[in-house]
Chains A and B, each alone.
Chain A
C-alpha cells in the first residue's frame, strides 16, 4: 500500500514538472527520459534480474519505431494500432532471436546479440522499398488516441508519461510476480532453479522477449514524438547506451533503469557544452562509474542505507 502511495506521489510530481519552468526543449528532453526509461526497464529484466547479456537492443528499439511508423503512414492505421503492432512484432522477433541465442553464455551471447542487431540495421539500410533506406522516415504523425491529438510539446510529454507509467506498472507487477523471482532464481543459481522445475531456456527467452517488447514500445513512442527516424540512430552505440542506463541506475533494482535513463540523457545533453570534449568525458565517466559505483546509483544507495540502518532483513 505504501509503495502505491509513493507511486501516486511521484506521478503527481511528474505531472506538475512542466510548470516549473518547462519550455519546448526541456519537455522534449523529459519525454526522451521517459522513452529511454521504458527501454531500460525492459533491459533490466534481462541484465539485472535474469543475469543475461544483450548488446543488440537498439535493433528492437528500431523495429518498434519502424513498424509503428509504417503502420500509421503506409497502412494509414490509427496510432494505437501502430503501437500494438510494434509490441507484437518486437515480442515475436525477440522470441525468435532469443531462442537460439540464449543457449549461449557470456561473451558468446554478447556477440550473438551484436550480430543480430547489426543484421537488423543492415536490413533497414538496404531494404529500401520498405524502409526507405538510409534516409529514414520523416513526417511521422504525432501520437493520437481516439481522436485526441497530442500536438503540443506539453501534450506529447503527458502522453509519454502516461505510457511510461503503464509500462512501469507492468514491469513492477512482473518483477514482484512469480516471473520476477523465477528470473532472479535463474541468475543466482541456474542449477537450483532447474531443480525447482524451472525450464532455464524458456525462462531466459521469455525475459528476453518481454524486454524486446519494452524496447518496441519505446521505439514506437520515439518515432512518433521525434517524428523522424533513420537507421543510423540504431546501431551498436545506441545498444551500449541503453545498457549503460541500466547499469548506471543499478542492475536488478526496481527504479534503477529510470534513474539511469535520466542520468544518461541529462549527461549527454549537458556535456554538449564541452563541444569536442563531450564524448571524451562521457567515455571517461563511464569508466569511472564502473570502477566506483559498480552497483549503480540505486544499488549503492541501498547498500549504504543497509549499512547505516541495516539489519539482515530485506524488507
Chain B
C-alpha cells in the first residue's frame, strides 16, 4: 500500500512538472500580452512528434533531441506570432474587447490547423516513442520507482531554472520583463516590442513543446494529445497565479500531486474532475492564485 502510494506520488510529481511547463507556456503570453494562446496544447503535441522525428529519423540521442525540439517548435511559435498574431494586434489595438475575441479565434484556428496538419503528416494513430529512458526501476528504501518519472521531473525543473536564469539575467530576458510590465516605458527604453512579442511566443512554444516531448517519451504521440494537457496546464497556472513563473511550478506540482492522490484513494475516474473543480474554485475565490498579489481594482 505504502509502496504504491509512493509510486503514485512520484508519478504525480512527474506529470505535475509537465503541467508546470504547460502552465508556464500559458503564463508567458498572458503576462506579456494579456492573451491566452489556445494553440498551446497543439504546440505541446508538436513537441512529441518533433521528438520522434529527431530521435528516430535523424538518430539524435535523447538529450540532444530536447534542445533541438525546443528550438524547432519555438520557430513555429515565432512564425505563428508573425502571421496570425501581430497583424491582428496591430489592426485592433484600440479595441481591446474585440482584440481578445479575435485572438481567441485565430489561436483556435492555428490549433485546428496544427492538429490536422500533424494528422496528415503522421497519421491519426498514436506513434510509439523509442524507449529513451532506462527501464530498470530505481530502488528507494525498498520502494520501486520507475526511473523515467524521475528523469521527467529533473528535465522539467532544469528547463524552468534555465528559463528563469535567462529572464532574470540576460539582456534579452530583461527586455522581455520590462515589456511585460509596461510596454510604453519599455519601448522608450529601447526595447523593440515586435521582437519582444516574437520572443514571448517562441519561448512559450518551446517550453510547451518540451512538455509534449517528455510525455511522448513515456507514452505515445498522437494529434489530439494536446487538449487535455492544455486544460490541466492552464488550471495549474491559475492555481499558482497566472503570469507567475514560480506559480506555474507550484501549481503544476500541486495539481499533479492532487490527481495522483485522488487516483490512489478514490478512483481514476475522478482524476479530471479534480482539475475542473480546482479551476472553478480558484477562479471563483482566488483568481490571482496562490503566489500572485491580488490586483487592486482601479478606475
Contacts and interface: CB of A to CB of B under 8 A. Distances in A.
- Do A and B have CB atoms closer than 8 angstroms in the complex? yes
B113 A251 contact: no
A15 B116 CA distance: 39
A90 B109 CA distance: 28
In this complex, the member of A100, A112, A187, A243 whose beta carbon has the largest number of chain B beta carbons within 10 angstroms is A112
Interface in A204-246: 236, 240, 243-244
B23 to A, nearest CB: 12
A290 B283 contact: no
Contact of B106 (A47, A100, A290): A290
B272 A247 contact: no
B100 A291 contact: no
Interface residues of B, number: 45
Contacts of A290: 84, 88, 102-103, 105-106, 109
Contact of A112 (B84, B110, B280): B280
B49 interface: no
Contacts of B238: 108, 111
Contacts of B98: 251, 294
Chain A's interface size range is 35 or more
Contacts, number: 119
Given A244-B105, A286-B105, A286-B112, A294 B283 contact: no
Interface stretch (A21-29, A58-66, A166-174, A276-284): A276-284
A247 B102 contact: yes
B104 A287 contact: no
A294 B102 contact: yes
Interface in B261-278: 272-273, 276
Contacts of B279: 111-112, 115
A110 B36 contact: yes
Nearest to B299: A191
Nearest to B87: A291
Contacts of A289: 105
Is chain A's interface secondary structure helix, strand, loop, or mixed overall?
helix
B101 interface: yes
A53 interface: yes
Interface string B271-293: 01100100110011001000000
Interface in B84-130: 84, 87-88, 91-92, 97-98, 100-106, 108-117, 119-120
Contact of B113 (A114, A115, A240, A284): A284
Contacts of B283: 101, 104, 108, 111-112, 115
A17 interface: no
A282 B110 CA distance: 10
B234 interface: yes
Contacts of A104: 283, 287
A119 interface: yes
A100 B284 contact: yes
A158 interface: no
A106 interface: yes
A251 B101 contact: yes
A87 to B, nearest CB: 25
Contacts of B102: 247, 290, 294
Contacts of A14: none
Contact of B101 (A101, A247, A277, A286): A247
In this complex, the member of A53, A107, A243 whose beta carbon has the largest number of chain B beta carbons within 10 angstroms is A107
A287 B109 contact: yes
A280 B280 contact: no
B157 interface: no
A86 B3 CA distance: 51
Q: Which 3 A-B pairs have the closest CB atoms?
A: A286-B109, A283-B112, A283-B113
Interface of A: 47, 51, 53, 55, 100-101, 104, 106-108, 110-112, 114-116, 118-119, 122, 187, 191, 236, 240, 243-244, 247, 251, 276-280, 282-287, 289-291, 294
17 contacts: A55-B104, A108-B238, A111-B234, A112-B279, A112-B280, A115-B280, A118-B231, A122-B272, A247-B105, A278-B116, A287-B106, A287-B113, A290-B88, A290-B102, A290-B103, A290-B105, A294-B91
